[in-house]
């Protein structure tokens, strides 16, 4: 259990969660921001999430 919690609280997870919460807050708050800025931010968040969820795990085994 402690190992799972330790893996959850690493830097990349914290950064990803902060960015996702910020994006959700921007969308739900209805704040008026420039469309290009919103598109840039949402694309960056999407790229970061895609990178972290598609990166292969380093378990020492060769998976082909």
Report, as an integer, the average pLDDT of 48-55: 82
In a domain, 61, yes or no: no
Residues 18-24 have a mean pLDDT of 89
30 in a structural domain: yes
Tell me if 19 sits within 8 A of 42, measured CB to CB: no
Q: Among 39, 16, 14, 13, which Cα is nearest to 26's?
A: 39
Q: What is the pLDDT of residue 39?
A: 92
Tell me if 59 is assigned to some domain: no
The CA distance from 16 to 59, in Å, is 22
pTM of the model: 0.62
User: Average model confidence (pLDDT) for the chain?
Assistant: 80
Is the pLDDT at 58 greater than 80, yes or no? Answer: no
Domain total in the chain = 1
Q: What is the pLDDT of residue 62?
A: 53
What is the distance between the alpha carbons of residues 20 and 51, in angstroms, rounded to a whole number?
14
62 within a domain of the structure (yes/no): no
Question: Which domain, by its residues, includes 38?
Answer: 7-53
| 47, part of any domain | yes
Place of tokens 């598109």: 39
């Amino acid at each position: 259990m402690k190992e799972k919690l330790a893996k959850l609280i690493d830097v990349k997870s914290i950064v990803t969660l902060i960015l996702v919460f910020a994006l959700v807050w921007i969308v739900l708050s209805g704040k008026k921001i420039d469309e290009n800025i919103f598109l840039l931010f949402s694309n960056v968040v999407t790229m970061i999430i895609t990178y972290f969820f598609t990166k292969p795990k380093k378990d020492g085994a060769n998976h082909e």
